[in-house]
A and B are shown apart, each in its own frame.
Chain A
Amino acid sequence: MSETSKKVVYSVCSMCTVRCPIEIEVENGAVKHIWGNPHVLGGRFLCPRGAAGKVFENDSERLQGPMIRSGERGSGEWRKATWDEALDYVAERLKKVIETYGPESVILGDRGGAFTDLQKAFIKALGSPNYFNHHGSCSNSVHNAHNGLTGQRRNTVSYDWKNCKYAVLYGRNILESIGTKEAKDFIDALENGMKFTYFDIRWNYTAAKADRFHIIKPGSDYAVNLGIIHTLISEKLYDAEFVNRWVVGFDELAKFISPYTPEWAEKESGVPAREIVAIAHEMAEVKPAVILYAGWMTAWTEDDYYFRRSIYMIYALLGGYEAKGGLLFNKNEVDAGYKPLKKFVDLVPKVDKKRFDGVGWKYKHLSADYGLAQMVPHAVLNEDPYPVKAFINYRFDPLSAFPDPEKFKEGLRKLDLLVTIDVNYSHTGWVSDVILPEATYLERTDSVIVKSGPKPSLWMRRKAVEPKFDAKPKWWILKQLADRLGIGQYFPYNSVEDIIAFQLQDMGLKLEDFNSKGTVSLAKDQIMWDRKDGLKFKTPSKKIEFVSSMLEENGIPSFPPYESSKEPPDGFFRLTTGKTAVHTQGTTLNNPYLNEIQPENSLWINTAEADKMGIKSGDTVEISADGVAQTIKAYVTDFIHPTAVYTLHGYGREIPLQSRAFKKGMRDNTLMKGLLTVAVGGNCPITDCFVKIRKLS
C-alpha cells in the first residue's frame, strides 16, 4: 500500500439545515471522520447526524446518476441517462413551456436556507417571479409575525444564550430537535444558572431539564402568553423606557389584554394562574436577559401567527432587543464596514410579474422570500392566477414536508415538467420526470455566505472528496441549464473558483483566506448597537409596531379577540409531530447508522386514553383520518396531553430504493387531509389534524 495521504478540510455540514461548521478529516481521498470546526465552535463536538455524514457519503442507496422516468409519473420506473441527455430533456421542455405559457408558468421550489443565490438568480433570469421554499410547512408564521412587528425577518435577530438568565420555550424541543451549537449553548447556559420554563403538549428530553414544566392544552400557548403580558402590564413589570422609545401601539395592547387575566389563561391552558404570574415575575426580575423561543421550524395552527407576535411583544415589553441575554441584532458584512458580498441574483433585471401564490397581491403581509408552497396544487389544477406548467424542485420535498401529499401529487401530475435536483431520493423526486443528482456537501464547493450575527463572518462549504457517483455540483447544473436556455450571461463563471472570486471582489478577500479556519471573521468583537437610538427596525415608523401598519393596511386586525384552539371532536385526537436528534425528518431515515438508532416512529398516547381502548405500549394501533389509515406501534405514557397524540415526523418512506427506511413506521403527513391551506401567518395549520386511534388485534 502506498503512503497514506491525509488532509483536513473546513466546511459546512448539510445533514440538516442548521449548517454547522465542520472539520472533515480526509484520508486517501475518502472521508475518515467529520467533527465540528473547532475554530468556530471551540471544540470538535458535532451532533449525531453530522457524525453520520461519512456513512451517508459511502452509502450506495442514494442518487447515483441522472435518471429519466420510463414509466408513469411515480411508477418508480427509471432509465439511466447521461448528463447531456438529462439536461437537454429538461431544457427542451422548459423552453416549450415558456414559449407556450410565458416564463411565469415556471416555478422554482427551494429547500431554502443560506445557499440560495444561484437558484434565485436562475428563476429570475428565466423571467419568473416564482421562487418559493419550504417555509410554509416550517417557520412562515414566525417570519411573518416578526416581519409584521419589526419589518424584518425572523433571522435578523439571534438569541444571546451566553448571557441569558431566563428562558421560556414553547414546544421547542431544543435538546432533541438540535443544532449542535445551540444545544451546547443552552446546556452551558443551564450550567451558568439560567432558569428555564417549558411548555409542551408532552414531556420530552428538554422538559426533563426544565425548572418549570407544564403539559398544556394544545394550541393554548397564546393564552399563556396573554396571561404573562397581562401580568407584566398590570403589575407594571415591563421596561417602560424601552417601550416608550421603541414601541408603537402599547396602549392598544394594554386595552386588548385587559380581559386576559392569568386566571382566564389558566382556564384556557391548564397552567395554574399563580404559575403564570410567577413566570412573569421571574422574567421581569432578570429582564432583559430573557429568551422566549419564538418557534423554530414550527407550523402549527390557524392562528399561531398571533401567538408568535405575542412572543416578540413580550421581548419588546422586557426591552429584550439588542439586549445582553435576550435578542441581538444580526449584523452583516456592511454593518461590519465591508462592501457587500456580491450576488448573482443582483445581475438579473427585476421581474415585474404577479406571483403564482398570491404573495404580494392577495397576501400582501406575507413575504416573497419564502412564498407559499402550499399553493402549488391549487395554481396548477385551476390555472389560477395563470397556468403553472413546470416545477424546478431544488432539494425540496413537499410530498414529505407538506400536509396532504395526495392532493399535492394531484397538482404535480398535471405539470408538463417536474425536475428534481437533490442528493437523496425524495418522495417528490420519485414522482418527477427527471432527477438530477447533486454532488453531496462533502463532494462540492458552494458559494460564500455571510453568517450574519452579533459578530458577522463569511462561511464556505468546500469540497473534501471527489463525487463517489455521477453527481455534479449545483453551480454546474444550473450553468448547464442556463446555457441551454439562453440565459448563460447571468452565470458568468466556468468554475467554482470564478464564483468565489466574483462574490468576494468588492470585499478585498479571496478564497485562500478560508483555508486555515474555514471561515473569515468580519469583526473583531461583537458589534452592539445603541439601545437608545441605534436599533434598526424596518417598519414605516422605524419602531416595533404592536399595531402593525402592514396588517392594518391589508385589513388584518392586529388584535383580534382570542379564540380557543379547536377541540378534537369526540373520539378524535390532535396529531402532533416532532423531531429527534438522530434524524432530519425523512432525509436521514435511510442513513445506516441513524436508521439503526431510530428505525421507526411510535405513537405517544396518554395512559388514561390508552386504557380506555385497551392499548398498551408496543401494541400496534391504527391511526386514521378522512379515509386514510396507517399503522404504528403505541407508546403509552402519562406525560402527554390526553387530547393529543404525538409521533416523529417523516417516517413511512415510500421509496423502494431506500431499503432501510422503506415502509418503516408511519407517514404522518398523509393523515393531514385538507390542511394544504394558508393560515394568517402563511403557514399550513399542520397540527389542526384530528385522528382516530384503534387498537389492532
Chain B
Amino acid sequence: MGKNLLFPPGPGADPLHIVYEEDGLKRESSAPCQLNCPAGIDIPSYIALIGRGEYDKAIAIIRNDNPFPWVCGLICPNPCEQWCQRRYLDKALCIKDLKGLAARMVMEKGTGYLIPEPKERYSEKVAVIGSGPAGLTAAYFLAWQGYRVTVFEAMPEPGGLMIAGIPEFRLPRDFVRREIQAIRDMGVEIVVNTPIGDEVSLDELRNQGYKAFFLGIGAWEGLRLGIEGENDYPQVISALEFLKDVSFGKKIKPANSVAIVGGGNAAIDAARTCVRLGSQSVSIVYRRTRSEMPAHFEEIIQMAEEGIHVHQLTIPSKILGSYGKIDFLECLMATLGEPDESGRRRPTAVSGSEYKMPVGAVIGAIGQKPAIRRYPGFGYLDLTRRETIRVRSHNQQTNVPDVFAGGDAVTGPATVVEAIGGGKRAAFAIHAFLRDLKMPEIVPPRPRTMIPPIVLDYHKKSFIQRQEIPLIDLDRRMHSFDRVELGLDEIAGREEAKRCMRCDICERCGKCVEVCRDRLGVSAIRFFHSGESSLILKDYVHGLPKCIGCGSCVNICPTGALQLEDRDGERVLLMSGTVINRIKLETCEGCGAQYVTKVMVRHVEKLIEAPEEAFEQKLCQDCKRISKAFKMVGETPDFSVQRIQ
C-alpha cells in the first residue's frame, strides 16, 4: 500500500479492499464518470481543481489523457454526465462545461497550455495519416513519449471534423487552431494537402524511414439514401460535404426550403447551418421518433428553438423535381416495430401513406463510412462489414503489424472523445511496438492524482443547483455563426464544481451502512440503491440525525472517504470532504480534552442501565484512571501534576 495516502483507510478496514499503487493512488479509478469517459480523464480531480481555482493544474490533469480540453469542453457528448452519481440526488454536473471553463481560463486569461517535455528522445519516425482528433491525439502522445511524428493531411488545414465538419456556432475555429498549435509546439510536423494512400503509398513512407503508422482518416463518405431521384439532382448533397464546404468558406444556402434526412449530429448540424445560411424552411426527416434521435439532447432542443421542424416517423421514398431542380421529397409514414440490432425499435413504412414535402434541396445525413476504397494504397488492410478498418481491440493494431488505426475510420461515425481515446491507445501501442515491449493490456483508467475535496456542509452541498448554460440571443443565433453556448463563467463554474460527489474517494461499498445498521444497531448512515449497481448516500439532504458519533463507520471505511475530526467542541463527520454530521462533544473535567460525543454517553448510559450519578463527572479514559486511583486511597484527584513531574 502506498504511504501517506490523502485518504487513509480506517484502521479497522480490510487493508486489501482497495489496491494502491506505489504512487499512493488507487490502481483503478472508482469514479463512474472517469470509468465511462472514452478518453479516461480523471474527471473528479480536475473538477476539484477547478473548484479551487487551479485551472492550470486542472488542464494538466485533463491533458494527461486528452490534448483537446477546449474542443471537448464545447462539443463532447459527455457520456460521463450520464454516469454522474449526482444525478441520483438531483441532476448531473455540467462536466463538459467545466472542462471548457478550465480551457478558456488557461487559454484566454492564463498563459496557455504547458507544453510537455518529451519523456525520452527516440530516433524512430512515426507517420500519422489524417489530422482529425484521432490522428492528432496519437501524434501528441507519441511526441510526448519522444518520437518524431509527421502528420499528413489531405485537406488544406489540419483538424479533420473539428475544422471541416462541426459548425462554427458549436465549435469556434480559433479554439481548435490553438489546441492544434499546442501539439505543433511539441515538435509534431503537420503536412497539409498531402493525401496518403493514393499517389503516396505507405511503402513509400516506409522507404523514407517511418517505422510505424497511424491511420486516422475518418469516415467522410456519406451513405447513400438509396431512393429514386437521388442521383438526378445536384441539390441532393451529403451532410459532411455540405458542412465541409461551409467550413472552408462556401457559405451558400442549398435552397430556401431544405429537408435533411437523418437524426444524428451531422443531420442537426446541417439543418442548423441551413438556418444560418438563410433557408426559410428547414426540416429534419427521421424514421423514428425524436426520442430515438442519436444527436445530443441539447442540440435537439436548440434546433427546435431555431425553428427546425422534425418530421418524425417519416421515411423518404422518392425525390421529385423538374428542370434539374428538386420540387418535392416524397415520404411515407412509419410505425415502430420490434427493436433491431441497435436496440432501437425498427420503423416500418405504412403503405399508402405517401405524401409530398415541397423542398429545394435534400441533405443526406444517414451515416458515413471511411473512404478507404478510394485509396488503393491501403488496400491490404482488413475491413469490417461496415467497411471500417478492423483493429485488435485495445491496441488499435491492424492486420499489418506496423499499421495502427483509430477514430471514425475504425468506429464509423462516432464522437471526438472516442477518437481521442483511440488515438491515445494507439500511441501507447505504437510505443510498445517500436520498443519491443509487451502490448498494453485492457486497463481501466487510473486516478491521475488525488485532490483534497472542497469542504462544505451537507445541506449546502445538496442545495447547489446545476448551473444553467447561457445561450446567445435566438435572433443572433439564426443569423450568424456565432457560438451558441456561452459556457460557464468562473463564479458559476466554481459553484458547479462544489456539487461533485467525489466518487474517486468513496467507492460506495456500503461497509459503513453495514456496520452502523447490522453491527451497531443504530442505522444512522444510509445509502440507497441508485441505478443497477450503485449506491448513493442520500443523507446529504438531511444529515444523520440518528448518528451517535462513535466513528465505527470511519473505522471500517476502506477508502478513507469517511473521516472524523474533533474541533471547536464538535465531532465532525466528513464524507469525501462533505460534512455530513456535527455532534457536540463532551469536555473532560480532568484534562479538558474533548473526548466523546454527548449522545454517545447517553447511548451507553441506556445500554448499561447505569445509575445516573455514574456519568455525572465527565472524564476521559486517562483521567478516569487517575480519578479512580486517587479515590482508591481516599484522595481527591489532582489531574494537573500527573504529567509534569
Please list the residues of chain A having a beta carbon within 8 angstroms of any beta carbon in chain B.
602, 617-618, 633, 635
Contacts and interface: CB of A to CB of B under 8 A. Distances in A.
B645 A602 contact: yes
B622 to A, nearest CB: 13
Interface string B348-392: 000000000000000000000000000000000000000000000
B591 to A, nearest CB: 12
Interface string B632-645: 00000000110011
A427 B644 CA distance: 26
A617 B641 CA distance: 8
Scoring B641, B644, B645 by chain A CB atoms within 10 A of each residue's CB, the highest score goes to B644
B640 A618 contact: yes
Contacts of B645: 602, 635
Contacts of B641: 617, 635
A388 to B, nearest CB: 43
A633 B640 CA distance: 13
Contacts of A602: 644-645
A618 B645 CA distance: 10
Contacts of B644: 602, 617-618, 633, 635
Contacts of A635: 641, 644-645
Contacts of A617: 640-641, 644
11 contacts: A602-B644, A602-B645, A617-B640, A617-B641, A617-B644, A618-B640, A618-B644, A633-B644, A635-B641, A635-B644, A635-B645
A517 to B, nearest CB: 39
Nearest to B643: A618
A230 B640 CA distance: 46
Contacts of A633: 644
Top-5 shortest CB links A-B = A602-B644, A635-B644, A618-B644, A633-B644, A617-B644
Given A617-B640, A617-B641, 9 more contacts: A602-B644, A602-B645, A617-B644, A618-B640, A618-B644, A633-B644, A635-B641, A635-B644, A635-B645
Interface of B: 640-641, 644-645
A638 to B, nearest CB: 13
A617 B639 CA distance: 12
A602 B640 CA distance: 14
A112 B82 CA distance: 76
B463 to A, nearest CB: 45
A224 to B, nearest CB: 27
A635 B643 CA distance: 10
A602 B641 CA distance: 11
A639 to B, nearest CB: 11
Contacts of B640: 617-618
A634 to B, nearest CB: 8
Nearest to B645: A635
A660 B262 CA distance: 73
Nearest to B641: A617
Contacts of A618: 640, 644
B626 to A, nearest CB: 15
A288 to B, nearest CB: 38
A617 B644 CA distance: 8
A659 to B, nearest CB: 15
B262 to A, nearest CB: 68
A633 B645 CA distance: 10
A633 B641 CA distance: 12
A635 B645 CA distance: 6
A515 to B, nearest CB: 42
A633 B644 CA distance: 8
A635 B641 CA distance: 8
A602 B644 CA distance: 6
B442 to A, nearest CB: 36
A40 to B, nearest CB: 33
A200 to B, nearest CB: 16
A618 B641 CA distance: 8
A104 to B, nearest CB: 48
A210 to B, nearest CB: 18
Nearest to A633: B644
B643 to A, nearest CB: 9
B3 to A, nearest CB: 14
B451 to A, nearest CB: 29
A595 to B, nearest CB: 14
B84 to A, nearest CB: 44
A204 B645 CA distance: 10
A602 B645 CA distance: 7
A267 B641 CA distance: 34
Nearest to A598: B645
A20 B15 CA distance: 42
Nearest to A599: B643
A602 to B, nearest CB: 5
B635 to A, nearest CB: 15
A188 B153 CA distance: 99
Nearest to A619: B644
A102 to B, nearest CB: 52
B593 to A, nearest CB: 15
A63 B489 CA distance: 58
A242 B641 CA distance: 50
A252 to B, nearest CB: 46
Nearest to A618: B644
B625 to A, nearest CB: 14
A11 B178 CA distance: 76
A617 B640 CA distance: 9
A399 to B, nearest CB: 27
A666 B25 CA distance: 41
B388 to A, nearest CB: 56
A25 B645 CA distance: 34
A617 B638 CA distance: 13
A635 B640 CA distance: 11
A191 B641 CA distance: 30
A619 to B, nearest CB: 10
Nearest to A634: B644
A405 B298 CA distance: 78
A633 B643 CA distance: 11
A397 to B, nearest CB: 26
A100 to B, nearest CB: 49
A616 to B, nearest CB: 10
B633 to A, nearest CB: 14
B502 to A, nearest CB: 33
A519 B372 CA distance: 93
Nearest to A580: B645
A240 to B, nearest CB: 47
A602 B643 CA distance: 10
A615 to B, nearest CB: 12
Nearest to A600: B644
B590 to A, nearest CB: 14
A618 B644 CA distance: 7
A631 to B, nearest CB: 14
B551 to A, nearest CB: 23
